[in-house]
Structure 1
Amino acid sequence: MSTGEVVYLPHWRPGGSVVGAHRGRDAGGLGTFRDQVPFLRLPDARRIDIRATLRDPFEGTYVRRFETRTAIEVWALVDLSASMRFRGEADRMALVADLCTGLATSATRIGDAFGLIGCDDAIREDVFLPATRRQGIAMEHAARIGDMHCRGASARGLAEVPRRLAGRPKLVLVISDFRWPEALIEQVFSGLALHDVVPVLLADASEDEALPSFGLMEFDDLEGGGRRTVFMRPSLRRRWHARERERLDTLRRIASTYGRSPFRLEARFDAEMLSRHLMTT
């Protein structure tokens, strides 16, 4: 697999008439051999199976049926709230841009369509790309996501996205740090339940693991809470870690109910690790 290329396997058999790389639920005259059926079920004289026809004691005529290969849509839903401005070991939005570029390149290369929606308090129309199979346009919009301003006080716009994704099931990656209220997580994932949903959790070791046991620390609430100075001590550090574990457990529980388990993205984008997650979960 080339650098930055993402391999994925949808959890459903797609339908539709657009030829692609995925095993479809429909059968027809072209594709991978599936089975033999009576001629009346698939009246295509070009596909008559002579051997099966001659073996039938009732003198029925059989044709070969093939499994179609079908294209799907791959969507990246990106949280653009202010907390996504965080920079620790890596620039969070640079990671998002690398991920989206890898998805856009990989999807369009095999005939799938790539779409992009950015949200903060509402859907950002300046960060909306309808699903396209044109690789140049898809890659351009995906790369540009790294330069977007993250200024919203919340990611509530993601709750409006399901109406934009009506129709056939799609592969949907929700990309965020998921520092949301539990009610919003539930609302977003339940609204996307029709689709194959993959949460991508943006994380950074400096947010949690690097906390000292003792000392004064200054925290900056990127979503409007201002700066606070806190005296870190072992008991507060333990509570901090407990809250983080509880937050991540909540995300895993809700995500697994409506889709797949979260993929953790930190430090750098590794297309091979994401591919393994998408192929095995």
Structure 2
Amino acid sequence: MTEPADQPDIVYRPRGRLPGTRPGAHRGREAGGLGTFRDQVPFLRMPDARRMDVRATLRDPFEGTYVRRFEARTLVEVWALLDLSASMRFSGEADRMALAATFCTGLAASATRIGDPFGLIGCDAAVREDVFLPASRGRGRAAEVARRLAGTACTGTGAEGMAEAAHRLDGRPKIVFLISDFRWPEALITRVFASLSGYDLVPVVLGDAAESEGLPDWGLLELDDLEGAGRRVVFMRPSLRRRWIAREAERAETLRRVATRHGRPPFRLAGRFDPDAVSRHLLGT
């Protein structure tokens, strides 16, 4: 897989103004001589004669001297925390892991094109060192993400490593995309989101129509528990289908409630990767 040069970028906007002085594409807290116009301040507060505002100076009845102050632009680190537990092997309307890899590759390309560093952490029961890439703005980062994920096996029996991943994140401000099907116990969901609540957290839920909407009213279904509990045959009937769909809705509501408490509401990624849909979600939350 190569970097998707002809694919629309994922457009994202950090919440609030960012600290830091490294030049980038996002609104910063610092003020200086370059950037977007912010306000005028007395010369003594920012003694830079190059930024003198002649009109404001002439309008001041007390004959004060004013300079223009500008809003600095800075960068933000973008990280993808990817669930690599066995349930990510699911394939229905789409191959779940292939969809996740496409999303991560597109996100890496979008971030590095505007100068933001991108990093990747893969987790199952622990942090996977073979799927760890430190944040970098280097060209070709998207291609490296694609290569790293191309042959990645999802064999772990849990996602507890997600709670450990927060220890790999420190320093400058970050947007963290948490990518999973979130088929975890509620206690683990709460623990992982709490550990990442200090960052701008964006949950990305990998869903599939085959898990609920595609269920028949009647028939025999062979279910395979990818986490290791084996296979079993279930006789599907309308009452069971209703309970199944209700449980899925309850699980989604639990995730939404926990997510909005610690970050942004979840984005559901199903079927195919649509950068424009991701951008609309990010700019609207």
Find the counterpart in structure 2 of residue 36 from structure 1.
40
Q: How does 1:135-214 map to 2 (within 5 A)?
A: 135-214=139-218
Find the counterpart in structure 2 of residue 63 from structure 1.
67
Query: Which of residues 259, 263, 276 is equivalent to 1:259?
Result: 263
- Kindly provide the amino acid, as one letter, of the partner of residue 200 in structure 1: V
Find the counterpart in structure 2 of residue 231 from structure 1.
235
Q: Quick one: distance in 2 between partners of 1:92 and 1:257?
A: 27
Q: Greater CA deviation, 58-67 or 118-127?
A: 58-67
Find the counterpart in structure 2 of residue 133 from structure 1.
137
Query: Which of residues 20, 23, 31 is equivalent to 1:19?
Result: 23
Q: Quick one: distance in 2 between partners of 1:143 and 1:36?
A: 50
SS class of match (2:190) = helix
Q: Alpha-carbon deviation of 1:100?
A: 0.8
Find the counterpart in structure 2 of residue 221 from structure 1.
225
Q: Provide, for residues 74-109 of structure 1, a one-character-per-residue CA deviation record: whole Å limited to 9, x for no partner.
A: 111100000000111111111111111111111111
- Kindly provide the amino acid, as one letter, of the partner of residue 218 in structure 1: E
How does the TM-score come out when normalised to structure 2?
0.95
Find the counterpart in structure 2 of residue 53 from structure 1.
57
Q: Alpha-carbon deviation of 1:59?
A: 2.5
Q: Alpha-carbon deviation of 1:143?
A: 4.8
Q: Provide, for residues 163-205 of structure 1, a one-character-per-residue CA deviation record: whole Å limited to 9, x for no partner.
A: 2112333111110000001111111111111111111110111
Q: Provide, for residues 142-169 of structure 1, a one-character-per-residue CA deviation record: whole Å limited to 9, x for no partner.
A: 4532421001001110001112112333
Percentage of identical aligned residues: 68
- Kindly provide the amino acid, as one letter, of the partner of residue 109 in structure 1: R
Find the counterpart in structure 2 of residue 99 from structure 1.
103
Q: Quick one: distance in 1 between partners of 2:234 and 2:58?
A: 84
Task: Count the aligned residue pairs.
Answer: 281
Work out whether residues 255 and 262 of structure 1, in 8 Å CA contact, stay in contact via their aligned partners in 2: yes
Q: Provide, for residues 3-54 of structure 1, a one-character-per-residue CA deviation record: whole Å limited to 9, x for no partner.
A: 2421111112112111111111111011111111011211212212222223
Distance 1:25 1:142, change over 3 A: farther
SS class of match (2:283) = helix
Find the counterpart in structure 1 of residue 86 from structure 2.
82
Q: Quick one: distance in 2 between partners of 1:218 and 1:257?
A: 37
SS class of match (2:50) = helix
Work out whether residues 21 and 30 of structure 2, in 8 Å CA contact, stay in contact via their aligned partners in 1: no
What runs of 5+ residues in structure 1 fail to find an aligned partner? none
Q: Greater CA deviation, 135-144 or 58-67?
A: 135-144
Find the counterpart in structure 2 of residue 246 from structure 1.
250
Q: Quick one: distance in 2 between partners of 1:78 and 1:72?
A: 19
SS class of match (1:252) = helix
Work out whether residues 97 and 144 of structure 1, in 8 Å CA contact, stay in contact via their aligned partners in 2: no
Q: Alpha-carbon deviation of 1:58?
A: 2.3
Q: Alpha-carbon deviation of 1:56?
A: 2.2
Query: Which of residues 81, 88, 113 is equivalent to 2:117?
Result: 113
- Kindly provide the amino acid, as one letter, of the partner of residue 213 in structure 1: D
How does the TM-score come out when normalised to structure 1?
0.96
- 1:123 partnered with 2:127: yes
Q: Quick one: distance in 2 between partners of 1:169 and 1:117?
A: 17
SS class of match (1:36) = strand
